[in-house]
Structure 1
Amino acid sequence: MPKRLIKVTPSKLGTWADCPRRFRMAYLDRPTPARGGPWAHSTLGAVVHNALKALFDLPQRARSADAAAGLVRTHWKDDGFADAAQAAEHRDRAAGWVHDYVAELDVAHEPVGLERWVSAPVGSLVAEGRVDRIDQRGDEVVIVDYKTGRHGLTTDDARGSQALALYVLAARRTLRRPCTKVELHHLPTGTVAAWEHTEESLARHLRRAEESAEEFQLATDTLRAGGDGDVLFPANPGRQCSWCDFRRSCADGQAAGPALEPWAMLSS
């Protein structure tokens, strides 16, 4: 019998690498344990993504920097912020990021995809996920990922991103177009970290993804056959426990350190 392909997303692979117990709670336990509340930095990131997508839904003549900033305010939510004043401060900051970003962007250029879902068999996997933006540049398409985190990004971040490499592989099959380049667009600093993949670098990312997928699939199959979930999916206590969504259901995570406030990961 042919080997069953394992379906993966960057989020799924990242969760497994971060903490197998969190992987089990997120993807296998039913009912799913209660999650924590919203995080302010996640709210901010989602609003920026939604505003940039909405911008390209407008007619070309309406795609101005001012319009983009207005879309941030239109899509804004206060979820996870300490109070209305803090939310307003970061709303205005995000609107400024988006304004300055769009002011330097060729808004007449129509992306190949916006929040585009790509899914394709690659190696022993079905790699899939949602790409922020896919641009056509010359004969190739380019994977663009928006970032709103506190720290700037480097070429090493683009080169080492397993998520972006898998998007390249999936986009090639989904769109049937050449694709090697990935870009991280960091809006707070207005910088772009780019990397041009080779077949060898993509193969390395794929190999590591396949190894991780085989590990979590074996643990999953063993659990379903009656294995001990705590043994198969051990906790990995560390700093990340302070902001884990499943902290309330994990004694090891609670013991690892105090919980962060929902707004603690915002840039100051």
Structure 2
Amino acid sequence: MEQLGFEFEVQPKRLTKVSPARLATFADCPRRYRMSYLDRPTPTRTGPWAHSTLGAVVHNALRALFDLPPQRRTPVRAAALLAEQWQSGGFADAAQAAVYRERATGWVMDYVEHHDVSGFPVGLERWVSATVSTEPGRPASMIIEGRADRIDERDGELVIVDYKTGRRAPGEDEARGSQALALYAVAASRTLRRPCHRVELHHLPTGTVAAADHTEDSLRRHLTRAEETADDLRTATDSLAAGGDSELLFPARVGPRCAWCDFRPSCAQGKQASLEAKPWELLAP
């Protein structure tokens, strides 16, 4: 992304490869990061969460929709695709699953009805990657990579589109403050060799779009914050490989999120921190 002044050419001998998911996991709870990415065999996890199942179904249905020719991208076809993709993991019972299946069907039908879905995205669940430095002239320090829900091209620039199915509609501040979207923008620009500044959160339950237009400075701030987390992550990982204490290097960061952590069954501190959430508790009411 040369127009931002990021250095892509000069690389140090060793780079830290990171993704938005890895960075967010480490920032939220280093122990969960260790259990997710380092411990082998992987510690015991919980079963599926209904809100995650619902989100995956909607994402998959919309991806399949955009694989179709524009004339076939109709609300009825979107409903059929959601039915094809449907799963019920994490729901309380068949009755609850049926309620949310009906809601999700309405979401995708309304999305097709009220949004322009006639274009041809340049990426659907597209993997993007870039070697970056946070300052011009500095050696590259990270490889950032990840999978974007959708990448559009509008007026010669790329736009990152991320689908949301959570309880509340996100706002512009959330779109602007999303490290994941900012990193996708930088990586997409590098991978596809076109400028990318705009990021959007499309909230299916309300049909709203929260958008933000990044500047060079705002993207650089996100990269700087990512680099700081990546440095801590690399130091802890290297120390663990050298024989360091895993409990000290990757401490549990307990709090309300422990109630629905995937690794709750394997974390004594997490169990003590909060009551266990039901697999369907995070569904939008």
Shorter-chain TM range is over 0.9
1:238 aligns with 2:255: yes
**1:158 pairs with one of 175, 198, 214:** 175
Post-superposition offset of 1:241: 0.3
Task: Quote the Cα distance in structure 2 between the aligned partners of 1:122 and 1:166.
Answer: 10
The AA in structure 2 aligned to 1:261 is K
Give the corresponding residue for 1:267. 284
Q: What is the DSSP-based 3-state SS (H/G/I as helix, E as strand, rest coil) of the residue aligned with 1:193? A: strand
Deviation at 1:5, TM superposition (A): 1.1
Q: Distance in 1 between matches of 2:146 and 2:267?
A: 28
Show CA shifts across 1:115-174 (max 9, x none): 101011112111111100111101101000000000111000001000000001100100
Query: In structure 1, how many angstroms separate the alpha carbons of the residues matched to 2:247 and 2:259?
Result: 20
Residue from 180, 190, 195 that aligns with 1:173: 190
Please state whether the residue corresponding to 1:37 is helix, strand or coil: coil
AA at the equivalent of 2:53? T
Which of the numbers 12, 31, 39 marks the counterpart of 1:21?
31
CA distance, structure 2, for counterparts of residue 2 and residue 18 of structure 1: 28
Q: Structure 1: which amino acid aligns with 2:62?
A: L
Q: 2:218, 2:89 → 1: CA distance? A: 39
Deviation at 1:60, TM superposition (A): 2.1
Distance 1:248 1:42 in 2: 18
What is the CA distance between 1:3 and its match in structure 2?
4.2
- Counterpart of 1:212 in structure 2 is 229
Letter in 2 for 1:229: S
Q: Give 1:108 shift.
A: 2.1
Counterpart residue number, 1:188 = 205
Query: What is residue 106 of structure 1 aligned with on the other side?
Result: 116
Partner Cα separation in structure 2 for residue 12 and residue 237 of structure 1: 18
Q: In the TM superposition, what whole-angstrom CA distance separates every residue of 1:37-65 from its partner, at most 9, and x where no partner exists? A: 00000000000000000001122221101
Question: Which blocks of at least 5 consecutive residues in structure 2 are unaligned?
Answer: 1-10, 134-140
Where does 1:45-124 land on structure 2 (aligned, <5 Å)?
45-123=55-133, 124=141
TM, length-normalised to structure 1 = 0.98
Displacement after TM superposition at 1:107 (Å): 2.5
Within 2, Cα distance between the matches of 1:153 and 1:60?
Answer: 28
Q: 2:161 aligns with which of 139, 144, 163?
A: 144
What is the identity, as a one-letter code, of the residue corresponding to 1:262?
P
* Matched position secondary structure for 2:169: coil
Aligned to 2:8: none
Provide the TM-score with structure 2 as the length reference: 0.92
Query: Bigger shift: 117-126 or 79-88?
Result: 117-126
CA distance in 2, matches of 1:107, 1:185: 13
Are 1:198 and 2:215 an aligned pair?
A: yes
Gaps of 5+ in 1: none
Query: What are the superposed Cα offsets for residues 10-58 of structure 1, whole Å, 9 maximum, x if unpaired?
Result: 1100000110011111111111101110000000000000000000112
Measure the CA separation in 1 of the matches of 2:109 and 2:46.
32
**2:240 maps to which residue?**
223
Give the deviation of 1:106 after TM superposition: 2.2
Q: How many residues align?
A: 268
